[in-house]
Every structure is written in C-alpha cells, then in structure tokens.
Amino acid sequence: MRRRFIGSAALLPIVAIALASVEAAVVRPLVLFATVLVVATLCMVTAVALGVVAHRNDQAELGFVAAFFFTASALPLVHGITTPTVLYAENAATMTSVFLVVPVGLVGVVPSVLRRTAFGRRIGRRWRSWALLHGAVTSALAVLLLVVPDLRFHPDPGSTAAWLSVAAMFAATVLIGQRHAWLADVAGRSGPTAIGAGFVLVGASTFAFIDTTPYSLWFWVAHGFDALGVFVATVGGVMVYHRHGRVDEIFKSVLTIDPHAAIELSLSPVVHRFVDDLNSKDQITRDHVVRTADLAVDVAENLRLGAEQVRRTGMAALLHDIGKLEIPDDILTKPGRLTDEEFAVMQTHAAAGGAMLADAPGLANLAGAVRGHHERFDGSGYPDRLAGPQIPIEARIVSACDAYDAMAHTRHYRTGLDPANVRAILQEHRGSQWDPVVIDALLQVIDHRSPSATFRLDAVGRTDRETANREFGCSCLPEDVLTGSR
C-alpha cells in the first residue's frame, strides 16, 4: 500500500504542471470569494470537531493532526476573504495566506515527527496545550493578515524560489502521508490511508504557486485539493470505520504514528486470549512477552523492515512463549536451576508454540518465527538447528529481544543483571548466538530508550475472554542459561 500511495502522490505534480496556464471559464473574483468562504468555514468546523474528539478521548496524535488541518482551513479562509476587488483591494495577504498553510500546519505535527526525542515526549504529555497554542498562533496570524493585508511572505508565482518552496512543502506532506499509509499496512486496515491522502492533497494545493496565470484551471483545482484534503482526513477515515461500528478505534490506531498502537488494534481476540492465558499461568512470563514485543517492534523499525514484517515481528514476539502454556508449573516457575531433564521439557515450548499457532485462525504465518526463536545464528540452537539466514528474520529479532529482556529483568530463576553486563553479553555472543545485524539494531534502540519508558503494548491480553470464544469458537489451549530465557 505504501508504494502505491507514493506512486499516486507522484502523479499530482504532473497534473499540476499539465493544468497550469490552462484558462478556466470562471474568472470572477466574487465566485472565488463565495466558494472559499463557504468551503473553508466547513473545513474549519470539521477540524475543530476533530480536536474536540481528541480532547475527550485524550488522543494526542489526533490533536496534532487536527491542528494541521485547522491551519489548512483557517488560512485558506483568509485567502478567500482577501480576494481582490471584493472586500479588499489588491493585496499580498491573498497569496501569503495560502503559502503559509503547509509550513505553519507542519509545526502542529512536529511532536509526532519527533516522538522519540525528549522534546517530542515532553510535548506529548502536554499535547492539549501544544494544540491550543498552535491554534491560537494560527488564528492570530489569520487576523494579522486581515488587518495588515500588505504583509508579504511568499515568493513570486512561477519563480525559482516558488518551485523550490513548493517542492519542499509537497515532499514534507508526502513523507507524513506515507507514514500513515505504512500504518495502514501495519494495522492491516485501509482506513489510515485516508489521513495520509489528506496531507498529500493539502501539499499538492501549494502547486498553485507554479502557475502565473490568474484563475487558471489549475488555480481552481488547487483550491479543490486543499478542501478535499481536509474533508478526506477529518471525515473520510471516520466513515470507513463507522460502517464497522469502530469509530473510536480509528482515532486510536490511525491517528498515531506509533506502529505499536496500530499492531495492538489489529490483534484478533484469539491473540489477546493467548496472552491472557499466559497471564493466568504465570504473570512474569506474560509481562516478559509484552516487553519483548514492544522492543522487537522498535528493532524491526530500526532495521527498516517492511510494514508486514514489522507487524509479524511484533505479533510473533507477543506469542513467542505461548508454548509454555503446556509446560508444568513446577518447571515453569521453579526458582532455581533446572535439571537436565527439566530443561529438556522446557525446550519443547518453542516447537509447541509453533504447533499451536499453525492451528490457530489467522496466525499460521507466525508459526515459523515462534518455533525458531531459540535457534542460534551459529546453528547450535533448537529445535531444528537452523543457522544464519535459514532462521526467519522475525525469529532472529525475537531471539535477541527475548534474551535481552530475560537478562535485564528478574525471572523465577535469577535476578536481573546490570545493564552493562547485559550489553557485554550481547556483544560477546554477537555472531554466534544472535544475528550481529540484529544485535547492532537492538543496542541502538536500547541506547535511545528512556529508562522510564512505558511499554506501549501493555493492554494486550486484558480483553473479555468471551470475545475470543464467540468469534473463533475456541477455548483455552491445554534455558536455564545466562545468555537467554528458558
């Protein structure tokens, strides 16, 4: 979907160039004034409504997106009001207002783009204040342009500066838009693409600055792109999910640039059921798989895997220890070292987990990754003694993240190790037990993580158990080494 999205976005500049300088039949300024006044006002209403939903549901990403599209409505409204020869004489505000739409609007989504930085996390905790401040600044700028219409902050249409500015603004909106298209792949849903399309359409409207012909055909199409972009993003996505009665979930999964949330909301009830069963059997194991999955998604992203691979990696990590549901409690929760016989029983959990997934609805494609999460890069692991690229990449990522979490946290059989010791062990066995490329990515992720970071998949497995039974007709399914988990 992401590739198709980028390909479709690339067509818009071609359309702009083709339509530029083509004269349109309607050239009356009053038509522009009336049309923009009505459409931009409606756009503002939908953007504000989006912000209200964000406030009520405490959804930061939705608030940031609403801030962008509020700007994409308020400044075009100024553009319409200042149309020359209607209420105003010739002025600079008419063009300045539309030129500033994208750069000012992008300020509103900066916290999302910088979500992993200290700044992004700080603003994320105070997102309401940020969104309100951005709306206030946008409104103040709109009023300023209406009061002082001769303020000029735009290049001459058709100039080199105009081309460069438009190219940069369009590229920025495409990058943000493709992120939402990527999320659509991760979540396994088409709805998020509507949000991405909204960003791109608003970005495409800036191509009005390549046209030197007043009221050309492209001039009108560009205005339509801006309005359509706002409506598609604020209304279209909601309608997609409304048909399935899942309006609230689109605001949770689509309007976040964090794939963890998208993965969580794409999980079937049977996945929640598996994790809940682990919690009932042994909470330490349940918490371990959730932390492992959270980390594995970040590592998969760091490795720039495709959206489907990121999704499979996160789900495989969540389910990598479900085979332990079949391990006797006296072995699973034994506080000390396992005997050779007990460890042999513990080792069966990898194959058992793969077999369980092979028979589970919609989860068969994860069986190989779960079965292989205790294989070693040098071929000395279990159960199949696979080596190197024979081991699925998802399993290689889960293996490293599983071991890191097992060493860094207290388990039944030992207390957590010092972070420096964990790092040293990962480095020592890089290339033998674990894929060296995966270890490098894992260490980079760890280095950039805040010590107080929360685990974004912690809600997995806390759903109604009856849902899984009703939807899938199934019931609950009946290494004692330093460098990894048992």
pLDDT digits over 205-228, tens only? 888 787 767 677 777 788 888 888
Query: Which range is most confident: 23-27, 55-59, 446-450?
Result: 446-450
Q: How confident is the model at residue 335 (pLDDT cuts 50, 70, 90)?
A: confident
pLDDT tens readout for residues 149-161: 998 888 888 889 9
Q: What percent of the chain has pLDDT over 70?
A: 75
Domains 2-253 and 267-472 fall in the same CATH topology: no
Mean pLDDT of 272-296: 85
Q: How confident is the model at residue 268 (pLDDT cuts 50, 70, 90)?
A: low
User: Does the pLDDT value for residue 451 go beyond 90?
Assistant: no
User: Does the pLDDT value for residue 252 go beyond 80?
Assistant: no
Q: What pLDDT score was predicted for residue 117? A: 67
Q: What pLDDT score was predicted for residue 239? A: 55
Q: What pLDDT score was predicted for residue 279? A: 79
Q: How far is CA 292 from CA 13, 57, 196, 251, 263, in A?
A: 43, 28, 30, 26, 14
User: CATH homologous superfamily for 267-472?
Assistant: Hypothetical protein af1432 (1.10.3210.10)
Q: What pLDDT score was predicted for residue 243? A: 45
User: Does the pLDDT value for residue 22 go beyond 70?
Assistant: no
Q: How confident is the model at residue 140 (pLDDT cuts 50, 70, 90)?
A: very high
User: Does the pLDDT value for residue 352 go beyond 70?
Assistant: yes
User: Does the pLDDT value for residue 1 go beyond 60?
Assistant: no
Q: How confident is the model at residue 472 (pLDDT cuts 50, 70, 90)?
A: very low
Q: How confident is the model at residue 139 (pLDDT cuts 50, 70, 90)?
A: very high
User: Does the pLDDT value for residue 101 go beyond 90?
Assistant: yes
Q: What pLDDT score was predicted for residue 448? A: 81
User: Does the pLDDT value for residue 428 go beyond 60?
Assistant: yes
Across the chain, mean pLDDT equals: 80
Decide which of 155 and 463 is more confident: 155
- 3-class secondary structure per residue, the chain: CHHHHHHHHHHHHHHHHHHCCCECCCCCHHHHHHHHHHHHHHHHHHHHHHHHHHHHHCCHHHHHHHHHHHHHHHHHHHHHHCCECCCECCCCHHHHHHHCHHHHHHHHHHHHHCCCCHHHHHHHHCHHHHHHHHHHHHHHHHHHHHHCCCCCCCCCCCCHHHHHHHHHHHHHHHHHHHHHHHHHHHHCCCCHHHHHHHHHHHHHHHHHHHCCCCCEHHHHHHHHHHHHHHHHHHHHHHHHHHCCCCHHHHHHHCCCCCHHHHHHHHCCHHHHHHHHHHHHHCHHHHHHHHHHHHHHHHHHHHCCCCHHHHHHHHHHHHHCCHHHHHCCHHHHCCCCCCCHHHHHHHHHHHHHHHHHHHCCCCCHHHHHHHHCCCCCCCCCCCCCCCCHHHCCHHHHHHHHHHHHHHHHCCCCCCCCCCHHHHHHHHHHCECCCECHHHHHHHHHHHHHCCCCCCCCCCCCCCCCHHHHHHHHCCCCCCCCCCCCCC
Q: What pLDDT score was predicted for residue 230? A: 87
Decide which of 102 and 55 is more confident: 102
Q: How confident is the model at residue 473 (pLDDT cuts 50, 70, 90)?
A: very low
Domain limits, the chain: 2-253, 267-472
Mean pLDDT of 454-465: 60
Mean pLDDT of 237-242: 49
User: Does the pLDDT value for residue 413 go beyond 80?
Assistant: no
Q: Which fold has domain 2-253?
A: Rhopdopsin 7-helix transmembrane proteins (1.20.1070)
User: Does the pLDDT value for residue 482 go beyond 50?
Assistant: no
Decide which of 137 and 285 is more confident: 137
pTM (global) more than 0.75? no
Q: What pLDDT score was predicted for residue 107? A: 92
Mean pLDDT of 225-238: 78
Q: What pLDDT score was predicted for residue 481? A: 39
Residues 142, 104: contact at Cβ < 8 Å? no
User: Does the pLDDT value for residue 353 go beyond 60?
Assistant: yes
Mean pLDDT of 327-346: 88
